[in-house]
């Protein structure tokens, strides 16, 4: 919305939220999220044509176009638990829009929703709206990635707008197209039917996650054979039909979108009687633990027992933990391990579904003492994330306190050097630029020997670190003699 305000000075943009605290933060100098370049855009537009308000009803009532970007977490319980999207917030937003609208409105789905959500929203609006007030629903999925949001919005690969194929539907699509056309070239604004737009978002995220899981699966084979995953990915990506992006091997993908959207896709496939297609996409994500209510259902449909399914993204994380433990004489009990990076990727403080959570839990489970440093993640956040079980993340009311022994095993450091002091090993879990240029000789000097670096993002120059004296593990790269001699990891 800030970028729309920047690019369309004659359009008034009001961001509304029922949380007054959140709106206060948006009106302050300390914005509630860290995103490179966002401060600058907000500073330029706020008070001019960009406003933040908790008077939701008034501003929705006055608007011509309403973007709905409410949270759509994975359902924690009930029908479709663990897979289906929870549309509670969407439904209440639609009911509120219907209640306050006194003039025609274009309602835009910005949140990622299951295909066919627009149909349900249309029904709610049409049955609850006042007489004579018309609604048009558009699907306009957001493709920006965190950490590069402003850049992605200023120069998007494409903007996608789906609408009804009626005269009123086409007029609504055109109205939204006119907004984007202020800065996005015409040929990059794609218009489709509603269902194609809704499904394209889930499909795009599923394809992206699949690329990472494919290259991560290759990384294990590279380690076993002496191939270098970076060389393989480069050679594969040079094929213009495949392309070079999103082929960086890693400790596993994280973030709020991929897992949630693929689970959602899996559920939609199941609901449409397509178990083979559902199973295909399931391979890309993790071996999630089915909540009790879904267990029988899943067993019946696929003859699966809950914990049998080891999917590739989970596999990559446990492979990493196993590598750490096996390299250190098969035990990390009582050893200090420095974890550099906790966010799910660089340039964000977001930790939702970050692979660091599973890796840290794995290390803690093996009784390691973990010292964590991330330039954008607070100690509170780390403790909260490690205390929660997977399905609680969007439902913090179920927060369980961490056991006292586990709390003692985790500390948060103010810089990388402090985290690594006296440590036996360093695990790099987020690709922050600053980890490329740390003084590794200084870090080595302060560590226990032999000193290990486990690079889960392939950001360090492994050869240079080996010259210093480190034993280095890089995902998908030929192994040190030391690592080769250790028992194979599964």
Burial class (CB in 10 A: 0-12, 13-18, 19+), 30: exposed
Smallest Cα–Cα separation from 319: which of 245, 213, 447, 452? 213
Residue 344 in contact with ligand UDX, rule: CB under 6 A: yes
Give the residue with the Cβ less far from ligand UDX, 169 or 252: 252
Reported in sequence order, the residue ranges of 387-432 that DSSP labels E, i.e. its strands, are: 410-412, 425-428
The annotation places the binding site at 17, 22, 70-74, 111-112, 146, 257-260, 352
- Most distant CA pair in the chain: distance in Å? 77
In the annotation, is 257 catalytic?
A: yes
Q: Which of 45, 257, 269, 427 is catalytic?
A: 257
> In this structure, how many other beta carbons lie within 10 angstroms of the beta carbon of residue 340?
31
Among 136, 139, 213, 248, binds ligand UDX (CB under 6 A): 248
Q: Residue 435 Cβ, how far from ligand UDX at the closest point, in Å?
A: 13
The annotation places the binding site for NAD(+) at 17, 22, 70-74, 111-112, 146, 257-260, 352
The piece of 137-145, 370-378, 421-429, 441-449 that touches ligand UDX (CB under 6 A) is 137-145
Residue 255 in contact with ligand UDX, rule: CB under 6 A: yes
Hey, which residues between 41 and 100 contact ligand UDX (CB under 6 A)?
Answer: none
Contact criterion met (CB below 8 Å) for 37 and 80: no
- The residue count for binding ligand UDX (CB under 6 A) is 19
Strand, helix or coil for residue 378: coil
Q: Residue 335 Cβ, how far from ligand UDX at the closest point, in Å?
A: 26
Among 118, 160, 257, 459, binds ligand UDX (CB under 6 A): 257
Q: Is the C-alpha dihedral spanning 152, 438, 419, 248 positive or negative? A: positive
Phi/psi of residue 402, nearest 5 degrees: -75, 145
Hey, which residues between 192 and 221 contact ligand UDX (CB under 6 A)?
Answer: 205, 208, 212
Residue 250 in contact with ligand UDX, rule: CB under 6 A: yes
Residue 38 in contact with ligand UDX, rule: CB under 6 A: no
The piece of 20-28, 143-151, 273-281, 382-390 that touches ligand UDX (CB under 6 A) is 143-151
Smallest Cα–Cα separation from 145: which of 394, 7, 347? 347
Among 86, 109, 142, 198, binds ligand UDX (CB under 6 A): 142
The runs of H, that is alpha helices, within 135-193 are 149-154, 167-180
Residue 153 in contact with ligand UDX, rule: CB under 6 A: no
Q: How many residues does the chain have?
A: 490
Contact criterion met (CB below 8 Å) for 218 and 476: yes
The C-alpha atoms of residue 257 and residue 253 are separated, in whole angstroms, by 10
Which pair of structure tokens corresponds to residue 95?
């009911």
Quick one: DSSP state of residue 251?
Answer: S
Among 52, 90, 135, 253, binds ligand UDX (CB under 6 A): 253
Residue 140 in contact with ligand UDX, rule: CB under 6 A: no
Which residues are annotated as catalytic? 257
Binding site for ligand UDX (CB under 6 A): 142-146, 205, 208, 212, 246-248, 250, 253-255, 257-258, 344-345
């Amino acid at each position: 919305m800030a970028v729309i305000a920047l690019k369309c000075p004659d359009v008034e943009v009001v961001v509304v939220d029922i949380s007054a605290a959140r709106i206060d933060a948006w009106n302050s100098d300390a914005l509630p999220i860290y995103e490179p370049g966002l401060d600058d855009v907000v500073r330029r537009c706020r008070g001019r044509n960009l406003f933040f308000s908790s008077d939701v009803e008034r501003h929705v009532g006055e608007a011509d176009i309403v973007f709905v970007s409410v949270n759509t977490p994975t359902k924690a319980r009930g029908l479709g638990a663990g897979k289906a999207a929870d549309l509670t917030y969407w439904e209440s937003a639609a009911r509120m829009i219907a209640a306050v609208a006194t003039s025609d409105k274009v309602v835009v789905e910005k949140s990622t929703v299951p295909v066919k959500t627009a149909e349900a929203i249309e029904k709610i609006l049409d049955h609850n709206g006042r007489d004579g007030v018309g609604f048009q629903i558009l699907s306009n999925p957001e493709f920006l990635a965190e950490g590069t949001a402003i850049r992605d919005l200023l120069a998007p690969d494409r903007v996608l707008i789906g609408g009804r194929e009626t005269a009123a539907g086409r007029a609504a699509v055109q109205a939204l197209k006119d907004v984007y056309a202020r800065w996005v070239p015409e040929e990059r604004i794609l218009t489709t039917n509603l269902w194609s737009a809704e499904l394209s978002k889930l499909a795009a995220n599923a394809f992206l996650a699949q690329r990472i899981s494919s290259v991560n699966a290759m990384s294990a084979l590279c380690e076993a054979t002496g191939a270098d995953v970076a060389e393989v990915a480069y050679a594969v990506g040079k094929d213009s039909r495949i392309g070079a992006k999103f082929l960086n091997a890693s400790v596993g993908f994280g973030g709020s979108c991929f897992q949630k959207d693929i689970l959602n896709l899996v559920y939609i496939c199941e609901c449409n009687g397509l178990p083979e297609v559902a199973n295909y996409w399931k391979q890309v994500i993790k071996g999630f633990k089915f909540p009790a209510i879904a267990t029988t259902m899943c067993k019946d449909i696929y003859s699966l027992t809950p914990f049998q399914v080891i999917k590739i993204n989970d596999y990559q994380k446990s492979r990493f933990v196993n590598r750490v433990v096996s390299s250190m004489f098969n035990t990390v009990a009582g050893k200090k391990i420095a974890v550099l990076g906790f966010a799910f990727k660089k340039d964000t403080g977001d930790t939702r579904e970050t692979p660091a959570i599973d890796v840290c839990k794995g290390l803690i489970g093996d009784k390691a003492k973990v010292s964590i440093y991330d330039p954008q993640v607070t100690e509170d956040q780390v403790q909260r994330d490690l205390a929660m079980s997977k399905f609680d993340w969007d439902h913090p009311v179920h927060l369980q306190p961490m056991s006292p022994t586990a709390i003692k095993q985790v500390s948060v450091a103010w810089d990388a050097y402090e985290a690594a002091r006296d440590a036996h090993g360093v695990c790099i879990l987020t690709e922050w630029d600053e980890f490329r240029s740390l003084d590794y000789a200084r870090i080595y000097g302060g560590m226990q020997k032999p000193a290990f670096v486990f690079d889960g993002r392939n950001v360090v120059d492994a050869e240079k670190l080996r010259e210093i004296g480190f034993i280095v593990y890089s995902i998908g790269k030929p192994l040190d003699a030391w690592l080769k001699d250790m028992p194979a990891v599964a």
